[in-house]
Amino acid sequence: MYKSKSFLLTSLLIATSGFSQAADLEITITNLTQGTYFTPVITAAHASDLSMFTLGQAASAELQMMAEGGDISGLSSVLINANADVIENPAAGLLGPAASTTYMMTNADSNTHLSMTTMILPTNDGFVGLNSWEIPEEAGTYTVYLNAYDAGTEANNEVVNGGGAPGILGIPAAPGGLAGTGGTGVTDMEENTNIHIHRGNLGDDDLAGGKSDINNTVHRWLNPVAKMTIVVQ
């Protein structure tokens, strides 16, 4: 009888030792692009019925703030009010090409899903997103590759003019100093006003005019644009 109880206890320990109870996460985000930058990142562990965005649907006002100007305060308020565990700006500023940032997140047992987003510069309303990824129960290292999305809230005119507030057409900035000036604008309208896969920057090679201020040898990309490594402890 003693051996039976001991065997049962050992079996339970083996069965549960590979699973995360407190869901402590070590997260690393890497910018995979050649010449674009990520604005302050926001990451949240949250319940399954919450999401930062939904593909094919219109962006919320809070997502628009982030996608057009890098302002994560609206998303943060929504998430915190929904009892999510939130980490803001782990890179303490912009995350440049080929750069990574690593940070820890401890979330409550009820928060079973993970989301992350950040604006891409220079773009009008492009962003990187991980949306409601179910946190594995089993401890281990998980890698997720992330695409670039278009919020659908602003025309991709590709003009760097300091814009960034919702409803103000233009790109806030082009970190790295390799963009052009004097662009007349690629377009002033977009047919797809829902969240969708970003077509990518078009750009041109005229740094003193042309249609775009985007440098087509620096600021273009192919998906995926980011790698997210999650260590479930």
**What residue ranges define each of the domains in the chain, with the CATH number in brackets?**
18-232 (2.60.40.2130)
For 160-193, give one letter per residue: b (16+ CB within 10 A) or e: bbebbebeeebbbbbbbeebbeebebbeeebeee
Residue 79: other Cβ atoms inside 10 A: 23
- What contacts 24+ positions apart, CB below 8 Å, involve 126-130? 126/67, 126/150, 126/151, 126/198, 127/63, 127/66, 127/67, 127/151, 128/38, 128/225, 128/226, 129/52, 129/53, 130/228
CA atoms of 153 and 112, how far apart (whole Å): 30
CA atoms of 96 and 94, how far apart (whole Å): 6
Return per-residue pLDDT of the chain as tens, 233 residues.
444 433 333 333 333 334 334 569 999 999 999 999 999 999 999 999 999 999 999 999 999 999 999 999 999 999 999 999 999 999 999 999 999 999 999 876 679 999 999 999 999 999 999 999 999 999 999 999 999 999 999 999 999 999 999 989 999 999 999 999 999 999 999 999 999 999 999 999 999 999 999 999 999 999 999 999 999 98
Q: Return the pLDDT at 49.
A: 94
Q: Return the pLDDT at 107.
A: 73
Q: Is the pTM of this model over 0.95?
A: no
Token pair, residue 65, equals 């703030």
CA atoms of 174 and 153, how far apart (whole Å): 19
CA atoms of 140 and 47, how far apart (whole Å): 21
Q: Return the pLDDT at 110.
A: 79
Q: Return the pLDDT at 6.
A: 37
